Chain A
Amino acid sequence: MKVTLRIWRQKGPEDKGRMVEYQLDDISPDASFLEMLDVLNEQLIQKGEDPVAFDHDCREGICGMCSLVINGTPHGPERNTTTCQLHMRKFKDGEVITVEPWRAKAFPVVKDLVVDRSAFDRIIAAGGYITAPTGTAPDAHSVPVPKADADKAFEAAECIGCGACVAACPNGSASLFLGAKVTHLGLLPQGQPERWDRVVNMLEAHDAEGFGGCTNTGECTVACPKGIPLDVIGRLNHDYLKATAGGKKK
């Protein structure tokens, strides 16, 4: 199949960047979106041009490294799917496809389609953990966890940290990412001692990174390749209010 690509090219963080158009004539519908970009890059290299830089690693939808806003939608048109798992058969022959990086102040563009997502690591470092130094743990069965809580915690813990929620949010907020971790750890008995500090410290780190505020538009959960539900933001808000207005955080 044939496609026309309009791709954001930006030499480096200081470069202004622009859209550049490329034609690809012989793409297999069985190729993944990233494999299609591989083909483009092979052609660019043969011509002596700089290939398009994009992030990717596992190519099986779990590492969270791939990104790309495709035709205005993070990770492209297929729901619950990362870009690496998106295949060209989802596009029409001859389609014009616009490819842009995640856009957020907290995710500055490094080159072309590659952005810096270290803000997410700093949010986790601010409190997204349970303090359990190695060797101190009691037997795994000493604290039973109700199955419903364990399942919900797992559902939130599925977050792959790709940043699609931020890319999709009209406010550039990372509330879904934040809520996912607060929910995962806050639902487990092991996560209780640090629960109130965690939510406040993580939220403060989130705001300090320059992410926007949540206005409950719900775009994040739709863009999320793991379908993390909006409930996690409700829980984030609940815990934050309880920690601050409710005086739980000491």
Chain B
Amino acid sequence: MTDDGFYTTGAPIADTKAPSGPIEERWTKRRFEVKLVNPANKRKKTIIVVGTGLAGGSAGATLAEAGYHVIQFCFQDSPRRAHSIAAQGGINAAKNYRNDGDSVYRLFYDTVKGGDFRSRESNVHRLAEISTQIIDQCVAQGVPFAREYGGLLDNRSFGGTQVSRTFYARGQTGQQLLLGAYQAMMRQVDAGNIELYPRHEMLDLIVEDGRARGVVVRNLLNGEIKHFTGDAVVLATGGYGNVFFLSTNAMGSNVTATWRAHKHGAYFANPCFTQIHPTCIPYSGEHQSKLTLMSESLRNDGRVWVPKKAGDTRKPADIPEEERDYYLERMYPSFGNLVPRDIASRAAKKVCDEGRGVGPAGQGVYLDFADAIKRMGRKAVEAKYGNLFEMYERITGENPYETPMRIYPAVHYTMGGLWVDYDLQSNLPGLFVIGEANFSDHGANRLGASALMQGLADGYFILPVTIGDYVARTNDLPPVGEAAIDEAETRVREQIDRLLSIDGDRTVDSFHRELGHIMWEYCGMERTDEGLRKALQLIPALREEFWTRVKVTGTGEELNKELEKAGRVADFLELAELMCIDALHRTESCGGHFRAESQDEDGEAKRDDENFSYVAAWEWAGPGKPPVLHKEPLEFEYVKPTQRSYK
């Protein structure tokens, strides 16, 4: 492994603060060891929370209930709109209500294995332990989970697990969980324990004496730049899937808060670990602004195919059976259409790259229900998938009962994020990172129905305990000095002025779209040494062009959505480079990261445990300087790494 000029290697991370001892006792042990804050003192402690999704909302509510003074921000017009709301499937919990052999240990085991052995065992076990409490908490808040006729909670099996441990509220589990957290939060807003600032975007971190002490935000309504300081800062700002321009993320989802913290010294871990979901509605033209996910359950009954001949533009009905290629069934005879997400995604890209893709943009494959309708009858198909078919028809204008659906993979979730220790604290003291924004728990691949579990575990149960330890140990922090605040505010103002003064000839979206093409092409489902090196030439060039040719209309003193987007795209242009460097350095395939060079003769991902059993935590070295790699070695005491096979 050479540094190659793209990065340098620094000291490994020695301590993750995870307690030692039997894994099932570690969280209990840690909870006992934390220093407590005197209840009377909590009121005097200010905690800044950025983001109001599942992680941020639950953390804000819980910290305020505990007695802290919380200041909380979101860029949307209401905390209820955070993108957690769009999660469909469900939330896992090791309740074993089905008596089907589930347990905390099994959930732990599945999650470590599902993460392709790139996550920290201690964290994952804690997540599994807490999962059951989350369900209790949400039910008490009035989350209307699906129930059975006996009045007890219903479960389903999700994402290929052998047990039924997923709790759900129709296809809107994320919405219902988020509204629960949001309502708990609003109760604290009403009680005066949370100062809430919607339509405020965090643009910088205030760091003094090496500690995170506050944030600089922009009031999106009038452009006012403000600062807020406190005893600790929590980032709950979600993932960075929008670096690909097209993803299933919300339009506003961005990396700005975490990236700017990264530039203050917080390590960014495993940025190349992105999850791609195989069943999304395909891209239909240049106007496309986002991709919509459809439940993976469609693959249970639909058959995936493309024409055998490249460039075949006939209607699907006119293509005779013998000229169709049911490629998943052909390539993976035992799992067929039900191969895991990443395999299905890569196969789709492969056939489209061969010119056999279907639909207006040639970026799609058929998911055909004709056989299912023949076998089960239209009624049964309708009962099972009616609402999904309806959604598909609304978006594409095509009737999937009559003509096969078109699907294509899309970026869905990012496992990478800011590096955190067992306490969810970054390497920058006082900066805590929770939910999708951190890198923990999912390793190289997230299992279905685990994102909601992690967000709420972090926010309701872990952070409120561990942050107390930090606050108690830093009891005598002086007020933040003017200099640190001024420095951060000035940096924000300068960037805004610079963006507004370029007055070039290209829109922000055109840059974002181009960056997305580069990332999708070279750092998407399948990555190669050659492609990543190419991307590492293209991205800096595009970034340079951005800073000379971008056109941002309007002023900084008003609601200016172009200016907001420009700031976010500027950060994506930097993150993209780090993602490619991370992907280039990790020459193995694992989870959501597939390196074409590292596969077995069947095209299966090949992990390299000998060389890559570590978390890659990247340190910002300054503009134009190669980032510094810090390795956190991973040890597997309980779940021994194995190679998967779906043949």
Per-residue CB contact flags for chain B residues 53-66 toward chain A (1 = under 8 Å, else 0) read 00000100110010
CB distance from A229 to the nearest CB of B (A): 15
Query: What are 9 A-B contacts defined by CB distance under 8 Å?
Result: A27-B287, A58-B85, A62-B86, A116-B77, A132-B140, A134-B137, A135-B133, A144-B147, A154-B170
Distance in angstroms between the alpha carbons of A93 and B140 in the assembled complex: 52
Instruction: Report chain B residues within 8 Å CB of A63.
Output: 76, 81-83, 85-86, 250
Report A's interface with B, CB cutoff 8 A.
11-12, 27-32, 34-36, 38-39, 42, 44-46, 48-51, 53, 55-60, 62-65, 78, 81, 85, 87, 89, 110-111, 114, 116-118, 120-121, 124-126, 128-141, 143-147, 150-151, 153-154, 157-158, 160-161, 184-185, 188, 190-191
Nearest B residue to A39, CB-CB: B287
Distance between Cα atoms of A42 and B152 in the complex (Å): 52
Least distance between B129 CB and chain A CB atoms (Å): 14
Q: Which of B382-415 contact A (CB under 8 A)?
A: 391, 394-397
- A161: chain B residues at CB < 8 Å are 78, 80-81
- List the A side residues contacting B182 at CB < 8 Å: 124
With A111-B558, A150-B145 in contact, is A30–B86 under 8 Å at CB? Answer: no
Q: Is the CB of B142 within 8 A of A130?
A: yes
* 8 Å CB interface, B155-177 against A: 169-170, 172, 175-176
Given contacts A38-B289, A134-B62, contact A141 B397 (CB under 8 A): no
Residues on A with C-beta less than 8 A from B187 are 125, 129, 131
By the criterion CB–CB under 8 Å, are A153 and B144 in contact? yes
Residues of B within 8 A of A50 (CB): 553-554
CB of A87 within 8 A of CB of B464, answer no
In the bound complex, residues from chain B placing their C-beta under 8 Å from that of A129 are 141-142, 183-184, 186-187
Known: A42-B509, A111-B559, A125-B189. A87 touches B397 (CB 8 A): yes
User: B331 an interface residue at 8 Å Cβ cutoff?
Assistant: no
Closest B-chain residue to A121, C-beta based? B78
Residues on the B chain within 8 Å of A11, using CB: 558
CB distance from A60 to the nearest CB of B (A): 5
CA distance A29 to B80 in the complex (A): 31
Contact B144 A190 (CB under 8 A): no
Cβ–Cβ contact A57 & B252, under 8 A: yes
Which residue of chain B has the shortest Cβ distance to A162 in the bound complex? Answer: B81
Over the window 275-286 of chain B, the binary record of Cβ atoms lying under 8 Å from chain A Cβ atoms (1 yes, 0 no) is 000000000110
Residues of B within 8 A of A114 (CB): 559
- Give per-residue flags for B252-280: 1 if the beta carbon is below 8 A from chain A beta carbons, else 0: 10000000000000000000000000000
**A223: min CB distance to chain B, Å:** 17
Given contacts A51-B553, A138-B140, contact A118 B190 (CB under 8 A): no
Assess whether B621 is interfacial by the CB under 8 Å rule.
Answer: no
**Pair A126/B190 contact, Cβ less than 8 Å:** yes
B198 touching A118 by the CB < 8 A rule?
Answer: yes
Q: Is B329 an interface residue (CB 8 A)?
A: no
Q: Does B136 contact A (CB under 8 A)?
A: yes
Which of B61, B151, B186, B293 makes the CB contact (< 8 A) with A145? B151
